């Protein structure tokens, strides 16, 4: 049996070098100008697993982004494990706000900082480390599946899963795109909220008019929009849209002082909603106004605005249906139009929530692997964010155990400025995944 701690220590330097090379490729799937970089990122990922003796190909569905499928067959009588990650990354935002160049990996303190350092090129690197630790003696069959459009909602993933179902069928699926409960505390993610969003337009006038001549009798669209958006929550901050599902989360305490520090909420700002913090974050709906189209302050004149527009995001609780939730949100916005304003709602993105019954041999193997790597028992957590493709994996491969793991921690700042990978935690992630493969072979 392979001495896995020693093997991981041996391969980590080369894995980190490969991770840094991947990070330097600005594979921003949301930017059409970066399409060549997304292709280059897929090719670099494919080359890494080809060098480990995998049969590799780059695939795409229609006009979708390139994905990588790499396979090594199972030893006789052993299961096959699918290892998922994604090679595309979020845009950087304002580059000037980064402490170091976003696509130049930079170590500061205990972290490696760069866009994609954690989400999710470290997921690719963790799979590579687990594979590399065993050399030519993998204890199970391994299929690596790395998609290239997760950050834009995986629009062609279901088609890919359908087209390549025979090649991707497995006994267990490890999705390395989540995170752990805290530094030093591993977790299995067992529920995720879904996501719907929409654009709501409010119109009160055919054209702008003088605020002095008509103000006081004619409502402006921006004020009407603000009043409409304010109806989405009650005075306590709970979501006030009828017809949305909510439930209880795991019996896990999230201290408010820790949450405030990790969320960066200002000291004087009160938290909204009711129930435990984990209920509010994981198993209840949440609504946020993401953007408003209206005149800029610098360009404003003394006129009543005829039309205003906002983007509204709804996180859908596990156990709900995203399509039903979208209809509930649409109904609320249309039925609460202030002063007879004309309200038009346009549907946006949609992704289903999911719950995982994390019981059985594969989950026991994962918990044992985490305990080995961290020296403490893992906890089951939910995720307030959305990974809609997990529901698609469940739909396509209903007999496979889905294990949602990851490399992130509460201060990873995925999608944000100064995204960073905690290097000691990453080493534990790699050891845990290699140990999981060994455990699944038993």
Q: What 3 state SS string does 343-406 have? A: EEEEEEEEECCEECCCCCHHHHHHHHHHHHHHCCCCEEEEECCCCCHHHHHHHHCCCCEEEEEE
Quote the tokens at residue 376: 């403490």
**Cβ-defined contacts of 254-260 (< 8 Å, 24+):** 254/278, 254/281
Task: Please check whether residue 85 is in contact with residue 124, taking contact to mean a CB–CB distance below 8 angstroms.
Answer: yes
Handedness of CA 47, 49, 51, 55 (dihedral sign): negative
Residue 431 makes CB contacts below 8 A (sequence gap 6+) with: 4, 5, 8, 372, 373
Angle between helix 4-23 and helix 423-440 axes, rounded to 10 deg: 120
Picking from 8, 49, 124, 76, the residue whose alpha carbon sits closest to that of residue 435 is 8
Quote the tokens at residue 86: 């994604």
Active site residue: 18, 119, 147, 150, which one?
150
The SS3 assignment for 307 reads strand
The counts of H helices and E strands in the chain are 13, 18
Task: Please check whether residue 55 is in contact with residue 68, taking contact to mean a CB–CB distance below 8 angstroms.
Answer: no
**CA–CA distance, 415 with 118 (Å, rounded to integer):** 10
The SS3 assignment for 272 reads coil
**CA–CA distance, 20 with 253 (Å, rounded to integer):** 36
Task: Please check whether residue 170 is in contact with residue 96, taking contact to mean a CB–CB distance below 8 angstroms.
Answer: no
* DSSP 8-state code for residue 220: P
Angle between helix 35-50 and helix 4-23 axes, rounded to 10 deg: 160
H/E element holding 71? Answer: strand 67-72
**CA–CA distance, 195 with 192 (Å, rounded to integer):** 10
Active site residue 150: yes
Task: Please check whether residue 369 is in contact with residue 433, taking contact to mean a CB–CB distance below 8 angstroms.
Answer: yes
Active site residue 104: no
Rounded to 10 degrees, the C-alpha dihedral 114/115/120/126 comes to: -20
Active site residue: 18, 20, 88, 408, which one?
88
Please list the active-site residues.
88, 150
């Amino acid at each position: 049996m392979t001495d896995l701690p020693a093997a991981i220590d041996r391969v980590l330097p080369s894995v980190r070098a490969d991770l840094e090379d991947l990070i330097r490729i600005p594979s921003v799937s949301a930017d059409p100008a970066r399409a060549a970089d997304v292709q280059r990122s897929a090719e670099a990922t494919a080359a890494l697993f080809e060098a480990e003796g995998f049969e590799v190909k780059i695939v795409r569905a229609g006009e979708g982004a390139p994905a990588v499928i790499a396979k090594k067959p199972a030893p006789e009588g052993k299961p096959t494990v699918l290892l998922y990650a994604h090679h595309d990354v979020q845009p950087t935002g304002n580059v000037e706000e980064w402490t170091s160049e976003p696509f130049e990996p930079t170590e500061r303190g205990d972290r490696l900082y760069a866009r994609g350092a954690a989400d999710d090129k470290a997921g690719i690197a963790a799979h590579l480390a687990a594979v590399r630790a065993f050399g030519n003696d993998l204890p199970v069959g391994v299929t690596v599946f790395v998609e290239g459009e997760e950050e834009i909602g995986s629009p062609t993933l279901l088609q890919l899963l359908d087209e390549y179902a025979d090649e991707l069928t497995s006994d267990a699926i490890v999705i390395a795109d989540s995170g752990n409960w805290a530094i030093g505390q591993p977790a299995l993610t067992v529920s995720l909220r879904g996501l719907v969003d929409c654009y709501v337009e409010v119109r009160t006038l055919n054209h702008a008019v003088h605020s002095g001549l008509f103000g006081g009798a004619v409502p402006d669209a921006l004020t009407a929009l603000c009043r409409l958006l304010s109806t989405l929550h009650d005075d306590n901050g709970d979501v006030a849209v009828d017809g949305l599902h909510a439930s209880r989360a795991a019996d896990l305490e999230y201290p408010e002082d820790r949450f405030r520090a990790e969320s960066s909420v200002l000291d004087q700002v009160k938290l909204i909603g009711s129930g435990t913090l984990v209920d509010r974050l994981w198993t209840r709906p949440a609504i946020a106004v993401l953007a408003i189209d209206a005149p800029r302050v610098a360009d404003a004149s003394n006129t009543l605005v005829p039309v205003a527009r906002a983007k509204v995001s709804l996180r859908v609780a596990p156990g709900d249906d995203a399509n039903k939730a979208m209809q509930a949100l649409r109904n609320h916005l249309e039925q609460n139009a202030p002063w007879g304003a004309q309200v038009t709602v346009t549907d946006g993105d949609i992704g289903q929530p999911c719950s995982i019954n994390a019981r059985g041999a594969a989950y026991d193997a994962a918990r044992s692997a985490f305990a080995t790597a961290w020296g403490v028992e893992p906890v089951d957590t939910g995720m307030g964010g959305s990974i809609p493709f997990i529901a698609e994996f469940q739909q396509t491969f209903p007999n496979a155990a889905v294990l949602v793991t990851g490399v992130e921690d509460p201060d990873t700042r995925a999608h944000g400025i100064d995204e960073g990978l905690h290097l000691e935690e990453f080493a534990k992630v790699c050891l845990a995944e290699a140990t999981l493969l060994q455990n699944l072979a038993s």
